[in-house]
Amino acid sequence: MELTHMRTWAEIDLDALEHNYHTLRAMAPAGCRFLGLVKANAYGHGGVPVGKKLEELGADMLAVACVSEAEELRQGGITRPILCLGQTPVELAPLLVDLDVTQTVEDLETGKALSQAAQAAGKTLKIHVKLDTGMSRLGFLWRAGGDNSRLLEDIAALCALPGLEAEGLFTHFADADGSEAYTMDQLTRFLDAKKALEERGIGFTIYHCGASTAVLHYPCTHMNMIRPGIALYGYYPAPELAGLDGPGLEPVMEVKSRIAAVRKVPAGTCVSYGRTAVLKRDSRLAVVPIGYGDGYPRQLSNRAFMEIHGTLCPVVGRICMDMCMVDVTDLPEVKAGDVAVVYNGALLEQDAEMVGTIVYELLCDVAPRIPRVYVQGQGKKKL
């Protein structure tokens, strides 16, 4: 579909993605691997196109949440190693083998199932062993100061299973953008476990802890692979992290919508469902074809702004499933067909704060029916 015919679209700037990649990679020590997170459709940006760009840029590995996401990347022609961060049902173990996907393993029983599937296929499946050092989600639970002998035995048994190659050991920080003390405690647990395993003769090729916040703020966590997520897409996990990277991150996505109509409406008129807005003056309302069916949160009703002709214009009334109204009274030149910027870096952060959520969620919520348009190069050529 031609851009001029699209009601609403998400513009993905691959140059910005490239900038963020190089900026983050420069923060890691020489020889450190780079794992790019492309789970959840690359945080709403499009898993296959983003994955291809990261592969082109030299990312060592990509990460997904489930095997179906890995399958989509492989079908899209991506050949880089893929790490599945979520647990895969044992019934799908043969698919992991077929797709050559590295699987996170958090318990011995899962490892045994993967071992059987790999042997049946006559192949070797790479795994990364996950330690739970304080997230209380997935992973072998490492107890600080406690008896971890059984855990060490289970990991040793896992690493010895035929058909498996235990390539990596990792953990995930629960509060890296909040508590330094808790984060350092988690890091200490991880290092203690690493040392205890090495004393048993168990070593790994790859060690990783650092997601976006740790990449930016805690160089001591970089190990020999970093795995940035939201920072790769141009956002800091917390405001105080801005600038730690030097050049500054660039938001990769802008959501835009083409005004469907502009209507003159007299003062005293109610607007949209529930009549939550009543016009205080004779107004001009732009009908913008985006709504909660597109992932634009209904909680932004009567609160959000869109950028039209470089000016912030307020959303008026409740956001509908497919449309919303924006006050353009002070912009008499606005007409049907003009472009409204729904999200850019600043608007997205402002909207996330308004609804009490995080940028990650709003990006992931951009609905599949909104086409992703990929641009790059001088003049931002559409791909």
Residue 127: inside a domain, yes or no? Answer: yes
Catalytic hit among 21, 39, 126, 296: 39
Residue 240: inside a domain, yes or no? Answer: no
Above 80 in pLDDT, residue 241? yes
Residues 205 and 286 grouped into a single domain: no
Instruction: Report the C-alpha gap between 198 and 286 in whole angstroms.
Output: 64
Q: Could you read off the pLDDT of 359-375 as tens digits, one per residue?
A: 999 999 999 999 999 99
Number of helical (H) and strand (E) elements in the chain, helices listed first: 11, 21
Residue 1: inside a domain, yes or no? Answer: no
Confidence bin at 381 (pLDDT 50/70/90) = low
What tokens were used for 125? 């499946």
Residues 128 and 207 grouped into a single domain: yes
Q: What is the mean pLDDT of residues 101-114?
A: 96
Cβ–Cβ < 8 Å for 263, 284 = yes
Instruction: Report the C-alpha gap between 82 and 37 in whole angstroms.
Output: 10
Q: What's the pLDDT at 134?
A: 97
Residues 85 and 169 grouped into a single domain: yes
Residue 12: inside a domain, yes or no? Answer: no
Instruction: Report the C-alpha gap between 288 and 328 in whole angstroms.
Output: 11
**168 beta partners:** 128, 206
Domain boundary among 201, 233, 265: 233
Instruction: Report the C-alpha gap between 168 and 60 in whole angstroms.
Output: 13
Q: Which residues are CB-contacts of 240 (< 8 A; sequence separation ≥ 6)? A: none
Above 60 in pLDDT, residue 383? no
Confidence bin at 90 (pLDDT 50/70/90) = confident
Residues 367 and 326 grouped into a single domain: yes
Listing DSSP states for 47-82 in one string gives: HHHHHHHHHHHT-SEEEESSHHHHHHHHHTT--S-E
Above 80 in pLDDT, residue 120? yes
Domain boundary among 233, 265, 291: 233
Instruction: Report the C-alpha gap between 25 and 22 in whole angstroms.
Output: 5
Confidence bin at 5 (pLDDT 50/70/90) = confident
Q: Which residues are CB-contacts of 1 (< 8 A; sequence separation ≥ 6)? A: 371
Residues 132 and 223 grouped into a single domain: yes
Q: What is the mean pLDDT of residues 189-203?
A: 97
Residues 205 and 308 grouped into a single domain: no
Residue 281 belongs to domain spanning: 253-382
**Is 39 assigned a catalytic role?**
yes
Q: What's the pLDDT at 145?
A: 85
Q: Which residues are CB-contacts of 254 (< 8 A; sequence separation ≥ 6)? A: 10, 11, 13, 341, 343, 344
Residue 26: inside a domain, yes or no? Answer: no
Q: Could you read off the pLDDT of 12-43 as tens digits, one per residue?
A: 999 999 999 999 999 999 999 999 999 999 99
Residue 246: inside a domain, yes or no? Answer: no
How many CB atoms sit inside 10 A of residue 148's CB? 18
The CATH number of residue 278's host domain is 2.40.37.10
Q: What's the pLDDT at 378?
A: 65
How many CB atoms sit inside 10 A of residue 72's CB? 16
Residues 269 and 226 grouped into a single domain: no
Catalytic hit among 273, 335, 380, 382: 273
Domain boundary among 204, 233, 262: 233
Residues 160 and 263 grouped into a single domain: no
Q: What is the mean pLDDT of residues 341-358?
A: 97
* Cα–Cα distances in angstroms (integers) from residue 110 to residues 40, 87, 119, 197, 328, in the given order: 23, 9, 14, 20, 58
Q: What's the pLDDT at 380?
A: 63
Residues 143 and 111 grouped into a single domain: yes
**Is 273 assigned a catalytic role?**
yes
Residues 181 and 112 grouped into a single domain: yes
Residues 69 and 209 grouped into a single domain: yes
The CATH number of residue 145's host domain is 3.20.20.10
What tokens were used for 234? 């141009």
Over pLDDT 90: what percentage of the chain? Answer: 95
pTM of this prediction? 0.95
Number of structural domains the chain divides into? 2
Q: What is the mean pLDDT of residues 162-191?
A: 97
Sheet with 261-265, strands from edge to edge, namely 261-265, 283-288, 324-327, 311-316, 305-308, 339-343, 253-258, 8-13, 372-376, 381-382
Residues 292 and 209 grouped into a single domain: no
Residue 15: inside a domain, yes or no? Answer: no
Q: What is the mean pLDDT of residues 79-107?
A: 95
363 CB-side CA count, 13 A:
29
Residue 295: inside a domain, yes or no? Answer: yes
Mean residue pLDDT of the chain comes to: 96
Over pLDDT 70: what percentage of the chain? Answer: 98
